Each structure stands twice: as structure tokens, then as C-alpha cells.
């Protein structure tokens, strides 16, 4: 099963809306085109939050138009900038799947919603933690991939101040199941890759701008353009993954 992760597109109601020097809808289109130019093609897309910047129905209609053109299922979760009711209303009908958990061959895809208002950080509420445990208890698949928006481990970014508030509760549940092979997220606008107890912990770059890693300020990384991550979920539980970058000709000047 080959997955394409797209995250933090920050699309606005206005099709030409920009953020930190990037026309975000245009950069999403360019990122998707660059990813689809690669072979083999993905079997599905993971859209891991902050898909919208303003939470407007119009922004999600832009996203629907762009992502459904790929012709594959799209599994999506909200980030702190999203508006969950508007997102669910626009991105629940096929080919979109909003949150939940899904069987992908020998794998179970576990989508967790960390949205806790537009305050930057995120939290898994008690009912979502309980659902996470229930999914683990009943999953028959030998391999699990967990997907969320906010980072559950430090990534050496200023955004560590606004990560997953109750990461310890998440990690306690995740550590209890040896079938979890990977945990992936967005939010941080940078690449992060680490293995912990044999589990891949992966952050993926935004489809628009990136933040400089390793600094305590919200400085944009001028050397990096829009990015994406490819994940290949192998039948034996291994994950092959790589990060790709879109052409840099989509930068806005305002």
C-alpha cells in the first residue's frame, strides 16, 4: 500500500490567498502534481490537518476539487486551523474519509483528531483516547499506522511549545501495542524522522512554506519549498518512506 502524505496546505476561501509569501492553493496544486509525477502512483492520500487556514467551506471546496482529481481515496483529519464541522461537511463523501480507522490490506490506519480549538496546540480528548484504545483492542491486522496532526514528541522547533498537550497519555497507549509500526503527523512544517522502540516517528513538510528547524522563532526556511512524504506499507510491517519537494516556481511575493 503506497500512501502520499500532504499536510498543512493552509488554503483560504480566496483562491489566490497567500500566507507567509506563498499562494497556498497554487502551492498545493504544484505539490500534488510533483508527487503524482513520480512512479509508482499512490494508492491513497493522507491529508493530515491545517488543510484550511480560515476554516471556510470555500477553502474545503478548493481542497475537494484538487485532491479528488488524484482519483484515489483521501483520508483526512483536522488541524488547529481547521473548522471540523465545515471540514466534515465538505470532506466526508467519497473519495474522502474524515477521521475514523480504516483497513488497508495487512494494515490498520488509525486517524486521531487532536483539534482543540485554534490555539496552536492540540489535545486528544478522553473520548478520542478511548476510541484509540478500542481500535487497538479490536484490530485484527498485524500492522498499525497512527496518524495525527500535532507532534507527540519534540522535533526541535519553536512549535514544540504548541504540540500535543497530552502526549504522555498518547504514548502510554501507543507503547502498549507492539503492532504499531509508525506514527506520522504534520503541524511542524519540517522534516523529522526518528525511530523509537522500532517505531517510525515521522513529520512531513508543508505543501507551502517550511519553518527553520532548531530555532525558537517562527522563521521561514527560505531554502525549502513545498514538500510531501511517500510511505510504502509493506506486508511484513516495514515502512519505506521518502520526502519529495515541489518545484520552487510557485512562491508568492505578498
Whether residue 250 is contained in a domain is answered as no
Across 172-192, average pLDDT: 97
CA atoms within 13 A on the CB side of 240: 6
Whether residue 133 is contained in a domain is answered as yes
pLDDT value, residue 249: 63
Neighbours of 168 (CB within 10 A): 9
Whether residue 91 is contained in a domain is answered as yes
Q: pLDDT per residue over 80-97, tens digit each?
A: 999 999 999 999 999 999
Whether residue 16 is contained in a domain is answered as yes
Cβ atoms of 24 and 9 within 8 Å: the answer is: yes
Across 167-176, average pLDDT: 98
Sign for the CA dihedral angle at 222, 224, 225, 229 comes to: negative
Give the gyration radius of the chain's Cα atoms.
17
Q: What is the domain range of residue 202?
A: 2-245
Any idea what DSSP says for residue 161?
G
Q: What percent of the chain has pLDDT over 90?
A: 93
- CATH assignment of the domain containing 12: 3.60.21.10
Whether residue 252 is contained in a domain is answered as no
pLDDT exceeds 60 at position 254 = no
Across 92-106, average pLDDT: 97
pLDDT value, residue 216: 85
pLDDT exceeds 60 at position 179 = yes
pLDDT exceeds 90 at position 4 = yes
Sign for the CA dihedral angle at 71, 128, 134, 238 comes to: positive
Please count the structural domains in the chain.
1
Whether residue 216 is contained in a domain is answered as yes
Across 171-177, average pLDDT: 97
Across 137-144, average pLDDT: 98
pLDDT value, residue 158: 94
pLDDT exceeds 50 at position 189 = yes
Whether residue 254 is contained in a domain is answered as no
Q: pLDDT per residue over 150-166, tens digit each?
A: 999 999 999 999 999 99
What is the three-class DSSP state of 36? Answer: helix
pLDDT value, residue 250: 56
Beta-bridged to residue 241, according to DSSP, are: 231
What mean pLDDT value characterizes the chain?
A: 95
Give one DSSP letter per residue of 138-205, joined into a string: H--SSEEEEE-SS-SS--SSGGGGGSBTTHHHHHHHHHT-TTEEEEEE-SSSS-EEEEETTEEEEE--
Amino acid at each position: 500500500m503506497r500512501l502520499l502524505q500532504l499536510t498543512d496546505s493552509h488554503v483560504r476561501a480566496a483562491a489566490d490567498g497567500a500566507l507567509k509569501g506563498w499562494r497556498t492553493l497554487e502551492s498545493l496544486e504544484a505539490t500534488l502534481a510533483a508527487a503524482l509525477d513520480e512512479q509508482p502512483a499512490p494508492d491513497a492520500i493522507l491529508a493530515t490537518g491545517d488543510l484550511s487556514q480560515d476554516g471556510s467551506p470555500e477553502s474545503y471546496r478548493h481542497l475537494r476539487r484538487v485532491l479528488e482529481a488524484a482519483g484515489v481515496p483521501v483520508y483526512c483529519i483536522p488541524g488547529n486551523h481547521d473548522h471540523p464541522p465545515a471540514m466534515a461537511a465538505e470532506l466526508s463523501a467519497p473519495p474522502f474519509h474524515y477521521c475514523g480507522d480504516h483497513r488497508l490490506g495487512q494494515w490498520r490506519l488509525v486517524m486521531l483528531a487532536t483539534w482543540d480549538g485554534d490555539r496552536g496546540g492540540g489535545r486528544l480528548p478522553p473520548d478520542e483516547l478511548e476510541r484509540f484504545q478500542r481500535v487497538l483492542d479490536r484490530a485484527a491486522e498485524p500492522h498499525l499506522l497512527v496518524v495525527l496532526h500535532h507532534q507527540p514528541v519534540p522535533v526541535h522547533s519553536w512549535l514544540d511549545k504548541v504540540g500535543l498537550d497530552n502526549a504522555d497519555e498518547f504514548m502510554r497507549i501507543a507503547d502498549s501495542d507492539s503492532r504499531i509500526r509508525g506514527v506520522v503527523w504534520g503541524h511542524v512544517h519540517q522534516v523529522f524522522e526518528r525511530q523509537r522502540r522500532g517505531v517510525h516517528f515521522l513529520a512531513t513538510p508543508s505543501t507551502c512554506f517550511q519553518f527553520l528547524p532548531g530555532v525558537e522563532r517562527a522563521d521561514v526556511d527560505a531554502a525549502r519549498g513545498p514538500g510531501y512524504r511517500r510511505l510504502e506499507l509493506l506486508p511484513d510491517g516495514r515502512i519505506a518512506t521518502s520526502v519529495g519537494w515541489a518545484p520552487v516556481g510557485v512562491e508568492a511575493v505578498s
